[in-house]
Chain A
């Protein structure tokens, strides 16, 4: 009851604003128009009549897909920053938690770039703005994870996630991916704990979404690691424990070594069985990643059906990102004049 009665005191305006942003997400009619565009200029014209407005107005033709990608991301970041600026506790902490995922991606991007001898000045513009923090530029000076932690990350909010990855090995390609997965695992479990502690409707909505994220990561890590040198035990350490696969499913996944075995493990969970059955590895069918995206969109859409909780902010960000991916997919198909699979975007609203 405390949820319902006093939620609007601190967070009512942010919720109203977020729902307003959500109503600007493109509808099927908009996608229908976009799919029929012949050039990127047509795309710009059609996007003008949507909530995006004149966001591409300052870019000279010829437009490229990269420019559209940058502008879409800018708009998203602007809206999210505005929500973050007007929010009160505990919504502010919640929104900060959402940005930690982008921080992790930025750190890994910088480390990988440094390994390939790129200059810091080239890499920093490619970082995601939502995941920027003060010490970001200093990451490139570190050689080993231990140095990275002691010099740079100990003052950031990500410090706690680094406990499992500190080692004296040098940072190289495989290690960096393992670091990314370990950080993300710690982040997901921490976020899940935070949402559970918030309680009420937020916990109900967010814990379901985060449990699905954890399971999805477990499946994808397993499937993507089949031909690499990752051992089963190392793989097991990367699975987040906050999903519904924990503990039996994760033990079974650890022992699989091909796609069919993973499908068998998924068959014991009704939702995942349905997802795996709809997917296939041949070219005409949807991949399991597409099915996971669809399920994520469904869960995020359902978050808006309830009022007085923080899940809508997370759901709005994820849906807007999915929309950006859709628009970029359509733009790429148009730019490369390869329109056969232009309808393979994931519809958000019906």
Chain B
């Protein structure tokens, strides 16, 4: 209950501060200073691209981790009374791990496109910003897709382990569900490659 008051208080204080700042700008005829375009332009394309890499790897690893602990613990629990499931169910763990590998691949691919540029001409700078945004988009795509894919494969794998412990004919059928689940991570990888294809920050 205390944390909920704290978070409500923090949220209220934040909103209040924002409204106060906004009104100050508006009423002192300084509204033009609230400039989103200027803000976006002042963030370097390197920043966008590198955050893209960070998101690609970290969100994929998060998804894989959530999946692996969900499945692994169920295999451990179910394996106590039904030891035969232990080896077969490691396939689920491998499929979760594949999700992390997709993130790793995209991280390497995106970071290969990051080289320094020296130009100051606006028309060429625009292309550099575009490259930065594309690499950010690619990283975000693969990261979020792999996050949900990893969670999905993990939860299905947990169900597969427990069902296998009860009735061994169920494992192969639930594995088919897992294969569909891991396909969605692959979609993220494909779209991400398309987004980052050919872009480069070099001159």
Contact = CB atoms under 8 A, between A and B. Distances in A.
Please determine whether chains A and B interact with each other in the same assembly. yes
Interface string A257-270: 00000000000000
Contacts of A24: 81
B102 to A, nearest CB: 20
Contact of A16 (B69, B79, B151, B155): B79
Nearest to A4: B155
How extensive is the interface on chain B, given as a class?
A: 20 to 34
Interface stretch (A7-15, A173-181, A315-323): A7-15
A307 interface: yes
B73 interface: yes
B77 A13 contact: yes
Interface in A1-41: 4-5, 8-9, 12-21, 23-24
Contacts, number: 61
Contacts of B82: 20, 23
B contact face: mostly helix, strand, loop, or mixed: helix
Interface residues of A, number: 17
Contacts of B78: 16, 19-20
A18 B166 CA distance: 12
Given A20-B78, A21-B81, A5 B66 contact: yes
A9 B69 contact: yes
A311 to B, nearest CB: 15
A4 B82 CA distance: 24
Interface stretch (B110-118, B157-165, B187-195): B157-165
Contacts of A17: 77, 80-81
B49 interface: no
Given A23-B81, A23-B165, A23-B166, A16 B159 contact: no
A307 B73 contact: no
B74 interface: yes
Given A4-B155, A19-B162, A23-B165, A12 B80 contact: no
Nearest to A10: B73
A12 B158 contact: yes
12 contacts: A5-B70, A5-B151, A8-B158, A9-B69, A9-B73, A12-B76, A12-B77, A12-B158, A14-B77, A15-B74, A20-B78, A21-B81
